[in-house]
């Protein structure tokens, strides 16, 4: 049976999605945007209904990890280099693994837990 509502896919490459997600996560970390602004930026960049939670979950997956690792060592755009993006991967993996004690990461606990973690 054919799906009535086919799953939408972004027209971006895995690297472009990962770079967008990492850039937004780093901006949130640095206090340059909040979760609502992050969602708007992600939706504009990726073309899907992404949120900060979606970006973090994507960055902790093998598609994003592989895409960012394959970037050239001298890659740099808008003041961010490959090491910044790899740092975002580490942040995302740590968030998914450790930020909520019940190991159930949801949008309702993501930003408060992230802010608490960033202050430590």
Residue 79, pLDDT above cutoff 60? yes
Alpha-carbon distance of 82 to 57, in angstroms, equals 19
pLDDT at 29: 93
Q: Which residues contact 99 (CB under 8 A, 6 or more apart)?
A: 105, 109, 110, 113, 114, 117
> Taking a C-beta distance cutoff of 8 angstroms, is the pair 41, 28 a contact?
no
The per-residue pLDDT for 50 is 92
pLDDT at 33: 94
**pTM for the complete prediction?**
0.77
Query: How many CB atoms lie under 10 A from the CB of residue 50?
Result: 24
Residue 81 Rama label (left phi>0; alpha psi -120 to 50; beta): beta
Please give the structure tokens belonging to residue 24: 């937004």
């Amino acid at each position: 049976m054919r799906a009535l509502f086919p799953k939408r896919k972004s027209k971006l490459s895995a690297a472009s999605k990962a770079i967008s997600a990492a850039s937004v996560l780093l901006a949130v970390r640095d206090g340059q945007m909040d979760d609502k602004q992050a969602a708007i930026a992600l939706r504009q960049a990726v073309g899907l209904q992404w949120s900060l939670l979606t970006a973090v979950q994507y960055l902790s997956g093998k598609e994003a990890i592989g895409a960012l690792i394959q970037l050239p060592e001298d890659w740099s755009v808008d003041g961010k280099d490959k090491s910044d993006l790899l740092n975002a991967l580490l942040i995302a993996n740590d968030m998914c693994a450790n930020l909520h004690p019940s190991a159930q990461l949801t949008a309702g606990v993501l930003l408060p837990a992230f802010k608490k973690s960033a202050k430590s």
